[in-house]
Structure 1
């Protein structure tokens, strides 16, 4: 029985009716080949079952064609949107993306980073701005382009980012929620979030807005590191038992806020009359919930697209068109925090 030989790049070129050089360009730098030609080559690749020799390509180009992305949690819908947009943008630029989930663990981030760097990455995306000393040493030694997502350097002693940052001010996002709840007439707004660096900044902004508006210290209640619907349900059940004291709640994730809405409906707590609820992320479910959910919107697609553009410039050795990029945030007022009369 004869053994079928593996298809070659030349086989793909013959089937697509183009030169071998054009096939090579389409596979390594698809953005410089016309869409019509790419479609012919893609069809030939699928028909023949051709698998490019990435190791050989790396020897020639000194690039792996791989970008790593360390994400805090893939269960957060706003991060899922970001990942999808990143993947699409990088694919158009000829890169594959490896994804690792740190679950907010600096130890896990270090383990994943070591594994990723062994792949000879062309660049790295970090969806969290706070790292262990070991991770910082690894990144410095790697000497590859790095872009951090979400958390702009801010505060009394701003952190020193590893590379460029595409994100927003956590302080400003928290302040916008606090100002809105005060303006709606609530007198005991409370903050519901995890106790880490980014959430602390959101709380500081929230606290400042409440202090300026009401002259009182807002309560802060701790939620889980990995946001979930159950978090919001648990907090409302505690409120119903008299364990918490507030008439408005700012949850730092929409999933928690949606859980709170469900729990209020089940327990007969009127929203927004008895309790105002504000979320963070402005997920699609916020718009269709009943009542619809007030939320702080972060432009996730803009974050991802700007990240891809900056990273590709850095990989090519070009001067980036911007340093840190502030995409901003926007409070979207809906029924869950309607003005109290």
Structure 2
């Protein structure tokens, strides 16, 4: 029989057994090998686990305890803009603090209990989700399990009262861009946005506010649904010549799209930036050869990572010695604007 974990308030295997009306040994057997009990009983036990927020230890005894040192990252796409920078910086900080980090990549934009239950069975003390929504059922389960939640992404309607939120300051992004636009005469800017881009809701809202503030037509957004790449950007210019022929400034949410548009301009004899200016918003990899030629508003993901680590320390009641960089965004000058 599993003893109650002192001082945590978490449900135990005994609580699940009492809820179902069977012995703790039967519940343990069902969790180890569901084929040894009836399907009906397995269903009742799973319902009890969800209702009580019980976290099975499974094969994670070395990590799972009342003083778990495991932190789980969940994201639908490892290539999501900003994820790699934030994940690696936070992982280094967490390892120095003695935590183990587990990364889960789920191939959809929403996670339910079944898709994440295996990872949760390792009893993390904190779940960090990046640009992914959790179902209400999963949020309720994690809340009952006393597992902290930190969300890095755009504001969505699945956030619980106990969930902490960190998101890029897109208002600052487009205020900086508006300042730059004010010094040039651009009347028909167009935003090229990947259809499944993280933070897309916040980007579009901030973009429309900027256009309206400068008496420009809002809703000038062209979504694409192919994976953002140089080739996709190359094809976008051809689409623009059909739907947005008056465009004089292109803003992209991915630098590969920006370079694709730039290369297409060269092939079609369109002068950059004289005839068409190009600006990238989000993440610029200035370490790559030749990439410094692109102009853009660079989001300081390192600043966001420090803010997230402060939230981690706050919820886990740990001392924080981090010094956040107050610079949230910065303008990168190049030849494309």
Alignment match, 1:73: 77
Count of paired positions: 276
Q: Given that residues 142 and 148 in structure 2 are in contact (C-alpha distance below 8 angstroms), is that contact kept between their aligned partners in structure 1?
A: no
Alpha-carbon offset, residue 67 of structure 1: 0.7
Matched, 1:140 2:124: no
Cα distance 1:329–1:158, how it changes in 2: closer, same or farther (>3 A)? farther
Partner of residue 31, structure 2: none
Query: 1:175·1:206 contact (CA, 8 Å) conserved in 2?
Result: no
- C-alpha deviation, 1:333, in angstroms: 4.3
Q: The residue matched to 2:93 in structure 1 has which SS?
A: helix
Query: What are the residue-to-residue correspondences of 1:69-148 with 2, within 5 Å?
Result: 69-76=73-80, 78-103=82-107, 105-107=109-111, 111-128=114-131, 130-148=133-151
Counterpart of 1:332 in structure 2 is: 331
Question: Which residue of structure 2 lines up, in the alignment, with residue 192 of structure 1?
Answer: 192
After superposition, the C-alpha distances for 1:95-118 in whole angstroms (9 at most, x for unaligned) are: 1211122355214x6554322211
The corresponding residue for 2:13 is none
- How far has the Cα of 1:211 moved from its partner? 2.2
After TM superposition, the structure 1 = structure 2 runs for residues 1-341 of structure 1, keeping only pairs within 5 Å, are 55=61, 58-59=64-65, 62-76=66-80, 78-103=82-107, 105-107=109-111, 111-128=114-131, 130-151=133-154, 153=155, 163-194=163-194, 198-224=199-225, 227-240=228-241, 242-245=242-245, 246-285=247-286, 289=290, 292-315=293-316, 317=317, 329-338=328-337
Q: Which has the higher contact order (CA 8 A, sep 6+)?
A: 1
Deviation at 1:121, TM superposition (A): 0.6
Tell me how far apart the structure 1 counterparts of residues 161 and 230 of structure 2 sit (CA, whole Å).
32
CA contact (8 A) 2:126 2:149 kept: yes
2: CA distance, partners of 1:128 / 1:198: 7
TM-score (norm 1): 0.68
Deviations along 1:49-97, one digit per CA (max 9) or x if unpaired, are: xxxx9735755xx233211001242124632122111211111111121
* Structure 1 range deviating more: 85-94 or 198-207: 198-207
Alpha-carbon separation, structure 2, partners of 1:331 and 1:218 = 25
- Call closer, same or farther: CA 1:133–1:98 in 2, change over 3 Å: same
Deviation per CA, 1:303-332: give whole Å up to 9, x if none: 2233234324423x459999xx99663241
User: RMSD in angstroms over aligned alpha carbons?
Assistant: 3.6
Normalized per residue, the structure richer in helix is 1
